[in-house]
């Protein structure tokens, strides 16, 4: 086999530009974030309470309906617009940024595979923020290995009965609507026997078993959900029996871009906080921002954050264009942005010194929040797998890894 001539494959003309509309959107979200969200961030983290007031604030300003069509009451922003919302909210508070992010995550299976009736029934309530959604895929032993899930959906007349347990479901306890993945054909296994359903959480048999105690994003409830013969009408099945795995993967291929945006926002928030602090803090009779050691750290933080942001925007444009390679782009963006958030927040704590390690300043929270961006919606290792598979496939090299 001939060796690949080049690994670069994404130099095509798909480009992106920020518009005046993007600027206005950023100005709006930044103002809300600085004036209303940032002052709540420490309290949300300390009390580990879902910020219902900020959910309302975002809903009132139409920021929970950015992925829905105007027909459904949404604002139909492009990918970069949606990224800007997540980024600017996350710059102030990562927990609160999950409200718009998960609203889309839970709705993505319906956006990708839902029929008109399903979309008309549920999207108006999600676009207005009256209802919250969540994405229920992960189970105890089915994390990165999605196909090993065990939850069952057995046919019962015109309905399905869902039985099993979901774990680590972001917003699972506050959502009104879930996209749930379950086996309709256990013999066929996860890849072929999985189906996707829309489940309303007031259906009998559904319950929240418990909430996790977490290191970061503490105001965003992560729930264990129990389904005990939850009756779901067949009209709430997304696509056909057996489409579940494909729907889940298509969702994650796109949704991880929101995590990249969240990570960019966290990194930017940490960089801004570190710069402001360094300009105030004096040691040895000088502002520490005048020390090159500090300047170099700030320069790295700023440029790496900018690189992550631009890669994220480039990936947004690929998703908008339904680029066949979009998974490569979204994985690359999430990988780079997540690692950037972790590094920038760690460096921010370093610049703050001892003050960075205490809760009086926001950077220790940002560092705890940043860690999750390397874990959820596919760990960084899973992102590398996705990227490498595409890389090998393009070069015509057969992958022998699992």
Which of 25, 258, 266, 349: binder of another protein (CB under 8 A)?
Answer: 25
Residue 323 lies near another protein (rule: CB under 8 A): no
Judged by CB, which is closer to another protein: 25, or 217? 25
Residue 56 lies near another protein (rule: CB under 8 A): no
β-strand 133-136 against 177-183: which pairing, if any?
A: parallel
Residue 321 lies near another protein (rule: CB under 8 A): no
Rounded CA Rg of the chain: 21
Shortest spacing between CB 17 and another protein, in angstroms? 16
Which of 37, 41, 54, 63: binder of another protein (CB under 8 A)?
Answer: 63
Residue 51 burial (10 A CB sphere; 0-12, 13-18, 19+): buried
Judged by CB, which is closer to another protein: 64, or 137? 64
Residue 75 lies near another protein (rule: CB under 8 A): yes
Residue 169 to residues 60, 64, 102, 172, 195: CA-CA distances in angstroms?
A: 25, 19, 10, 5, 18
Q: Which residues pair with 208 in a beta bridge?
A: 225
Residue 96 lies near another protein (rule: CB under 8 A): no
Shortest spacing between CB 22 and another protein, in angstroms? 11
Please indicate whether residue 377 is annotated as part of the active site. yes
Shortest spacing between CB 25 and another protein, in angstroms? 7
Judged by CB, which is closer to another protein: 29, or 288? 29
Q: Per-residue b/e over 72-84, b at no fewer than 16 CB within 10 Å?
A: bbbbebbbbbbbb
Distance in angstroms (rounded) separating the CA atoms of residues 27 and 42: 23
Judged by CB, which is closer to another protein: 77, or 98? 77
Residue 240 lies near another protein (rule: CB under 8 A): no
How many of the chain's residues bind another protein (CB under 8 A)?
Answer: 13
DSSP per-residue letters across 115-184: -HHHHHHHHHHHHTTSS-EEEE--BTTBSS-GGG---EEEEETTEEEEEEEEEEEETTTT-SEEEEEEES
Instruction: Out of 21, 229, 377, 398, pick the active-site residue.
Output: 377
Judged by CB, which is closer to another protein: 24, or 49? 24
Q: Which residues pair with 195 in a beta bridge?
A: 182
Shortest spacing between CB 62 and another protein, in angstroms? 4
Which of 61, 121, 150, 394: binder of another protein (CB under 8 A)?
Answer: 61
Structure tokens belonging to residue 269: 């928030």
Shortest spacing between CB 21 and another protein, in angstroms? 6
Structure tokens belonging to residue 305: 């954050």
Q: Per-residue b/e over 252-285, b at no fewer than 16 CB within 10 Å?
A: bbbbbbbbbbbbbbbbbbbbebbbebbeebeeee
Residue 271 lies near another protein (rule: CB under 8 A): no
Judged by CB, which is closer to another protein: 32, or 273? 32
Span from 57-65, 165-173, 210-218, 285-293 in contact with another protein (CB under 8 A):
57-65
Which of 9, 24, 49, 359: binder of another protein (CB under 8 A)?
Answer: 24
Which of 7, 9, 12, 21: binder of another protein (CB under 8 A)?
Answer: 21
Residue 28 lies near another protein (rule: CB under 8 A): yes
Under 8 Å between Cβ of 184 and 252:
no
Distance in angstroms (rounded) separating the CA atoms of residues 179 and 125: 15
Judged by CB, which is closer to another protein: 77, or 252? 77
Q: Per-residue b/e over 338-369, b at no fewer than 16 CB within 10 Å?
A: bbbbbbbbbbbbbbbeeebeeeebbbbbbbbb
Span from 27-35, 48-56, 242-250, 370-378 in contact with another protein (CB under 8 A):
27-35
To the nearest 10°, report the CA torsion of 303, 306, 310, 316. 140
Which of 31, 141, 381, 399: binder of another protein (CB under 8 A)?
Answer: 31
| CA 170 to mean position of chain CA atoms | 10
Q: Which residue numbers are catalytic?
A: 377
Query: What are the residues binding another protein (CB under 8 A)?
Result: 21, 24-25, 28, 31-32, 60-63, 66, 75, 77
């Amino acid at each position: 086999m001939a060796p690949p001539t080049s690994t670069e494959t994404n130099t095509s003309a798909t480009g992106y530009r920020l518009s005046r509309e993007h600027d206005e959107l950023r100005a709006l979200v930044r103002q809300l974030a600085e004036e209303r969200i940032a002052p709540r961030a420490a309290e949300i983290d300390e009390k580990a309470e879902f910020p219902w007031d900020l959910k309302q604030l975002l809903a009132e300003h139409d920021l929970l309906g950015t992925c829905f069509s105007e027909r459904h009451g949404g604002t139909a922003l492009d990918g970069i617009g949606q990224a800007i919302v997540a980024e600017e909210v996350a710059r102030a508070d990562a927990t609160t940024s999950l409200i718009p992010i998960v609203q889309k995550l839970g709705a993505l299976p319906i956006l990708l595979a839902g029929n008109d009736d399903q979309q008309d029934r549920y999207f108006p309530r999600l676009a207005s923020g009256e209802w919250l959604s969540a994405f229920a895929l992960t189970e105890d032993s089915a994390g990165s290995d999605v196909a090993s899930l065990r939850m069952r959906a057995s046919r019962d007349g015109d309905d399905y009965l869902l039985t099993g347990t979901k774990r680590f479901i972001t917003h699972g306890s506050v959502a009104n609507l879930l996209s749930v993945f379950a086996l309709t054909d256990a013999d066929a296994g996860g890849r072929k026997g999985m189906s996707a359903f829309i489940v309303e959480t007031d259906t009998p048999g559904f319950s929240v078993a418990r909430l996790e105690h977490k290191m970061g994003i503490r105001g965003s409830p992560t729930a264990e959900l129990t389904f005990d013969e939850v009756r779901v009408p067949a009209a709430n099945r997304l696509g056909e029996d057996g489409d579940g795995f494909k729907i889940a993967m298509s969702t994650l291929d796109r949704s991880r871009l929101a995590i990249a945006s969240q990570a960019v926002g966290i990194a930017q928030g940490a960089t801004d906080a570190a710069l402001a602090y360094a300009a105030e803090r004096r040691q040895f009779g000088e502002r520490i921002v005048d020390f090159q050691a500090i300047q170099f750290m700030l320069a790295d933080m700023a440029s790496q954050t900018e690189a992550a942001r631009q890669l994220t925007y480039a990936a947004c444009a690929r998703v908008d264009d339904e680029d066949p390679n979009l998974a490569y782009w979204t994985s690359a963006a999430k990988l780079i942005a997540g690692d950037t958030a972790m590094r920038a927040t760690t460096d921010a704590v370093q610049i703050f010194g001892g003050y960075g390690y205490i809760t009086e300043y926001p950077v220790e929270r940002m560092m705890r929040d940043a860690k999750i961006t390397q874990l959820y919606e596919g760990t960084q290792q899973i992102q590398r797998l996705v990227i490498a598979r595409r890389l090998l496939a393009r070069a015509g090299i057969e992958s022998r890894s699992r």
